A = this chain, B = another copy of it.
């Protein structure tokens, strides 16, 4: 499976005449876009999080509702608190959308094979208008500012990242994570950090290729459920 990521917007503008990659025999062009999520994306985000719970064998922990997401995800300006990027794909160029806080990142990807998307109808993009009815939500990343105390500077913590199954192995995970990294650099942030399950060796390899240091020396501690609620009555 070969996948090629076209030059970024700035480079593409400088090379306008060759901005569209040459399609080889058997290859297909797929337009991709990363944009900020809006409340209209909540039903898709909800389904994507469920797919993540399935992937991690943790559906028993899945209690999120569209309502809990809608009431918690959009209370702060983008990048100041919880922030979601949506990955969209389309077989046609995207129409412009109004997004002053974040200029959408558009790429054209050449893929050897475009698998049929069994959930294309379910994941039809919420911001697509009628002319754009082949725009499909293919994945998301949810991230939030963190703090690197040793540097005395903010960073981003990536809470979750998912590319839907039929769009995997095309470099889209890298595109999503790179968008977060690019935004971090733009804001003068000094770290992008996330966790990966140790058995997810493909992801670990992929993160290391991206330049991340995957450390085995940290243990993740979590206080949740009744163990957390017990602290609410201050009788600790």
Contacts and interface: CB of A to CB of B under 8 A. Distances in A.
Contact of A153 (B72, B147, B149, B230): B72
B215 A219 contact: yes
Interface residues of A, number: 80
B153 A236 contact: no
Contacts of A153: 64, 68, 72
Interface stretch (A19-27, A111-119, A122-130, A196-204): A196-204
Contact of A221 (B72, B149, B194): B194
A194 B9 CA distance: 37
Most chain B CB within 10 A, of A218, A223, A231, A236, is at: A223
A8 interface: yes
Contacts of A11: 234-235
Contacts of A81: 80-81, 145
Contact of A192 (B46, B76, B151, B222): B222
A220 B220 contact: yes
A228 B193 CA distance: 11
A146 interface: yes
Interface string A165-207: 0000000001000100110111000111111111100001001
Nearest to A59: B150
A96 interface: no
A64 B216 contact: no
Nearest to A61: B150
B149 A224 contact: no
27 contacts: A49-B149, A64-B153, A68-B153, A73-B147, A144-B144, A144-B146, A174-B236, A178-B231, A184-B228, A186-B232, A190-B224, A191-B223, A191-B224, A192-B223, A192-B228, A193-B222, A194-B220, A195-B221, A198-B217, A204-B221, A210-B223, A210-B227, A211-B223, A211-B230, A212-B223, A212-B227, A220-B220
Interface of A: 8-11, 46, 49, 52-53, 58, 61-65, 68-69, 72-73, 76, 80-82, 142, 144-154, 157, 159-160, 174, 178, 181-182, 184-186, 190-199, 204, 207, 210-224, 227-232, 234-236
